[in-house]
Amino acid sequence: MPHRTRPMAALLLFTGLNVVLVSTISPVYDYVCFHPYWERRRVELHLEREVSMRKGSLSA
């Protein structure tokens, strides 16, 4: 065999990597989901929908 397998080291590396990823997901999620851009976009879409509904009711 050209190299030794080290299952314990691999398991520790895998577990450590998962711990790091799990601990960083919450701040990333909060930053992405609660960014002011999304609030502005939501308001703009709401206004556009309102305008298009008014146009539709006037032409009918």
Q: Give the model's pLDDT for residue 6.
A: 84
- Whether residue 27 lies inside any domain: the answer is no
The reported pTM is 0.46
How many folded domains does the chain comprise?
A: 1
The domain in which residue 43 lies consists of: 34-60
Question: CA dist 54 to 33, 41, 44, 46, 50, Å?
Answer: 30, 20, 15, 12, 6
Q: Give the model's pLDDT for residue 33.
A: 87
- Whether residue 1 lies inside any domain: the answer is no
Which tens digit of pLDDT belongs to each residue from 26-58? 988 998 888 899 899 999 999 999 999 888 777
- Whether residue 3 lies inside any domain: the answer is no
Distance CA 30, CA 38 (A): 12
Mean of the pLDDT values across residues 2-31?
A: 89
- Whether residue 18 lies inside any domain: the answer is no
Q: Give the model's pLDDT for residue 56.
A: 77
Q: How confident is the model at residue 1 (pLDDT cuts 50, 70, 90)?
A: low
